[in-house]
Structure 1
């Protein structure tokens, strides 16, 4: 039996029922987060929760629980499902009311749901690297908000899948923004390059960890937008996210990066990232 989060309770999966007029279902009117679980422990949970509240504020949605309470509920969700290595997905919508583009009245209560699943780490991708493809970025202009409106990302990811690629690298005109579900990085002449954290990308939590790792291993960082051609000319390219960790990109639309081999700086960043992962708790 699996367990889910429903508002402020941990319930069985069968007890989760969403109203047909929930605004998340009808409008994508809500936000979400994904937190990685390593060795039964939530990784960078506070950072994810903080961003969850920032996203809520940006769409004028009031979360009816404190950060401390939400953190407690997510921990209970992991324990209830006995997750060792996996992730939590949780979201909140503006609630259920008669369909109307205008916000519902104040008595409509937001709906919080969450699930926790056991998943393996992507060791094959981390070791061998992946292929990617360029896809036009057709998403809205507030990509910094982690909203439920993901159709642009879904279409891009599907196009990548149909081309036999792991990720779609999005671009507006010639400017690379991010992946469909990742942040994009390149290394050139011993400098790490990535798009600045503005409204065109999500300010990824793993992105922040990568930038910390770069500082710790002496890799300078330049947060500046790159063109497609500049990305293709990088010595190394990798993507990063909660579930992808630090994944090397060895091919973009048939053009090999670093001769199709994982680069030295990427390996160093992977190793430094590994030091951040919580160790198993001794009993």
Structure 2
């Protein structure tokens, strides 16, 4: 099932209209889960940090022992070519992907140099600027690098995120705040997280249990340039309850305000609004 509409697929060296079939039944990626992707965005005629997303895809592939086959700058050029079919009033989710085609002698490890590559462009609207979600805790946690490929944006990691999200939604919330292996706050089920207390912005320190995102780094840089103190530190769920604001940071929405964490409400969210404003201003100048 497609995520959006007006889909275009880059596969086998050219762009195709529609949702193309690109994998075969015996591909290693389909039965052993050796697949990676990255997500970028096109909105308001802008495509911020596209080069960084393409570069991260290749690093993710290497983490899963998949051989990257497209240089980041070439990948970005292919994506920009594909985006020419969309208008500036359309928002597009950009998803370049690699997967392993063949396995080693025992079938488990991917075979070097045997890589599938495709890019999917899907029209998916940006959430409204005033959208705010609710969050709760989940019993599921982020793994550590010794247990899973936490240093990659790998498809095999997302079933864990899915059960976090579904658990939260079954409890009546929009998302989940997730613990790391030590029980400290790591991220949400879908994005990185920031807390605001007395004007100071904090985010969980990157400890290898979650992907410290490209958009997260952009918010840190933007807020610091605007005069905010931003701390990367160990945070607890008690810190989240004591915060004045919480917002989520990910490629899909860039900034998502949180209006409540269980019984704690956050009615006033000026720093969240400023983070959003700073991101859109930066994106316009960086284009």
**Alpha-carbon contact 2:69-2:117 (below 8 Å) kept:** no
**Alpha-carbon contact 1:4-1:115 (below 8 Å) kept:** yes
DSSP-derived class of the 1:245 partner:
coil
1:86 maps onto 2:92 in alignment: yes
> Mean Cα displacement is larger for which, 222-231 or 6-15?
6-15
**Alpha-carbon contact 1:6-1:16 (below 8 Å) kept:** no
Q: Distance in 1 between matches of 2:254 and 2:186?
A: 18
**Alpha-carbon contact 1:38-1:277 (below 8 Å) kept:** no
Structure 2 unaligned residues grouped into runs of 5+: 1-5
Structure 1 unaligned residues grouped into runs of 5+: none
> Mean Cα displacement is larger for which, 81-90 or 16-25?
81-90
Query: TM-score, structure 1 length as denominator?
Result: 0.88
The residue correspondences of 1:1-283 to structure 2 (distance < 5 A) are: 2-13=7-18, 15-80=20-85, 84-96=90-102, 100-106=106-112, 109-123=114-128, 126-142=129-145, 143-149=150-156, 150-172=158-180, 174-257=183-266, 261-278=267-284
Q: Distance in 2 between matches of 1:160 and 1:7?
A: 40
Q: Distance in 2 between matches of 1:161 and 1:184?
A: 18
Offset of residue 80 of structure 1: 3.9
Q: Distance in 2 between matches of 1:92 and 1:224?
A: 33
CA RMSD of superposed structures (Å): 2.3
Offset of residue 225 of structure 1: 1.8
Task: Please name the residue that 2:3 is paired with.
Answer: none
Q: Distance in 2 between matches of 1:203 and 1:214?
A: 16
Q: Deviations over 1:212-268 (max 9, x none)?
A: 1211221101101211111111111111111122111111123213xxx13221122
Q: Distance in 2 between matches of 1:216 and 1:16?
A: 45
Q: Distance in 2 between matches of 1:138 and 1:132?
A: 15
Distance 1:2 1:56, change over 3 A: closer
> Mean Cα displacement is larger for which, 224-233 or 270-279?
270-279
Distance 1:140 1:174, change over 3 A: closer
Distance 1:168 1:46, change over 3 A: same
Distance 1:220 1:256, change over 3 A: same
Distance 1:262 1:114, change over 3 A: farther
Offset of residue 98 of structure 1: 8.7
**Alpha-carbon contact 2:22-2:118 (below 8 Å) kept:** no
Q: Distance in 2 between matches of 1:121 and 1:104?
A: 36
Offset of residue 105 of structure 1: 3.9
> Mean Cα displacement is larger for which, 39-48 or 89-98?
89-98
